[in-house]
Amino acid sequence: MAKRFHKFRFNERTLQMEELPFALRDYLLFGFKRLLFFSFIAAGSIVVFDRYFESPTDRVRERELGFLESEVGRMGNDLTDMAVILEDISRRDDAIYRAIFGTDPYPQHLRNPGIGGSDRMRNLRGYSHSEAVISLEQAVSELQRKLVAQSRSFDDVLDLAQNRTEMLQSIPAIQPVRNEDLRRMASGYGYRIHPIYKVRKMHHGMDFAAPTGTEIFATGDGEVVLSKRLYNGFGRHVIIKHGFGYETLYAHMSETLVKKGQKVKRGEVIGLVGSTGTSSAPHLHYEVHKDGRKVNPAQYFFNDLSPEQYEQMLKKVEDSNQSFD
């Protein structure tokens, strides 16, 4: 027989305690109290264990979180190191590789492209480690953009390297008149006294004094873009376009031996020394143009002269105070 629960009640008439069986209401109240008690015990245990004790799952999760945090920090440091290395490569690209080929540095707006559009990081926000992850993502994106730009810059340098032989043949790198044919280096690049007008003027070339009829050589491979005779100024003169931004001018010739559109090679005879145009004596007036600017031709005789001869040539040029044209 199932055990029945009882309760006691004091009978005021008999002055005795009476034992009464539980009614349904008593069972419900008793059950609710027990449920409430055990619920309180369970909730308290959960709070205590959650606060003061770690489950195996929690310990694994904590270790993984610590590992991820350390890896994020390490990758951030690695990205910083890679950015420094890439910056060094960029400087070498501009200062060495492009300088060798005589080209301008890679444009900064292409080397450091920006990011447009909406907030690309919005899906990373709202987490406890959002800032660290966003910072890492931004560093990765910036490095990727710079790497792509540097790759394109190296593509340009590779194209230049592949054309290097053609470029070196095209640069005006010899004297237009042989040393043994020279009477003297009449005048160099800079301000000189004009022999006819007797005023101080900028002389944009070099004058090579030589007998009439002395051979004049193309100083680099190229194409004749002008072969013309004037009765003043340059007289009979030739302009050769070498490519890669270079042009050379040969003036006051007694005779031109090439025509417009003709291809010429370095060392090929293109005319003879004379004194046509505005000239005071037989000589060759020679100019070098780079990217449309007239530059000192003495900087481009590196194929012909030894260091000692080059120094002597510069001294002779500087000593002369009057040009022949």
Residues 184, 269, single domain; the answer is yes
Per-position pLDDT tens, the chain of length 325:
445 566 667 667 777 777 777 677 777 887 788 888 888 888 887 777 777 666 677 777 778 887 788 888 888 888 888 888 888 888 777 766 666 666 677 777 777 766 655 466 677 776 777 777 788 888 888 888 888 888 888 887 777 777 777 778 888 988 899 888 777 665 665 556 555 555 566 667 888 889 999 999 999 999 999 999 998 889 999 999 999 899 999 999 999 999 999 999 999 999 999 999 988 889 999 999 999 999 888 878 755 555 565 556 555 555 555 555 5
Residues 198, 274, single domain; the answer is yes
- Which residue, of 101, 133, 162, is where some domain finishes? 162
Question: So what's the pLDDT on residue 16?
Answer: 74
- Residue 309 counted as domain residue: yes
- Residue 67 counted as domain residue: no
- Residue 57 counted as domain residue: no
Residues 280, 306, single domain; the answer is yes
- Residue 219 counted as domain residue: yes
Residues 156, 188, single domain; the answer is no
Q: Taking the CA of residue 68 as centre, how many other CA atoms within 13 Å lie in the half-sphere pointing to its CB?
A: 11
Residues 197, 287, single domain; the answer is yes
- Which residue, of 106, 138, 162, is where some domain finishes? 162
Residues 86, 140, single domain; the answer is yes
Residues 193, 301, single domain; the answer is yes
Residues 154, 189, single domain; the answer is no
- Residue 70 counted as domain residue: no
- Residue 68 counted as domain residue: no
- Residue 1 counted as domain residue: no
Residues 228, 142, single domain; the answer is no
Domain coverage including residue 272 = 172-319
Count of domains for the chain: 3
Question: So what's the pLDDT on residue 1?
Answer: 43
Question: So what's the pLDDT on residue 315?
Answer: 59
Residues 91, 134, single domain; the answer is yes
Residue 313 maps to which CATH number? 2.70.70.10
- Residue 64 counted as domain residue: no
Site of tokens 């004297």 = 175
pTM for this prediction: 0.49
Residues 150, 180, single domain; the answer is no
Residues 209, 142, single domain; the answer is no
Question: So what's the pLDDT on residue 271?
Answer: 97
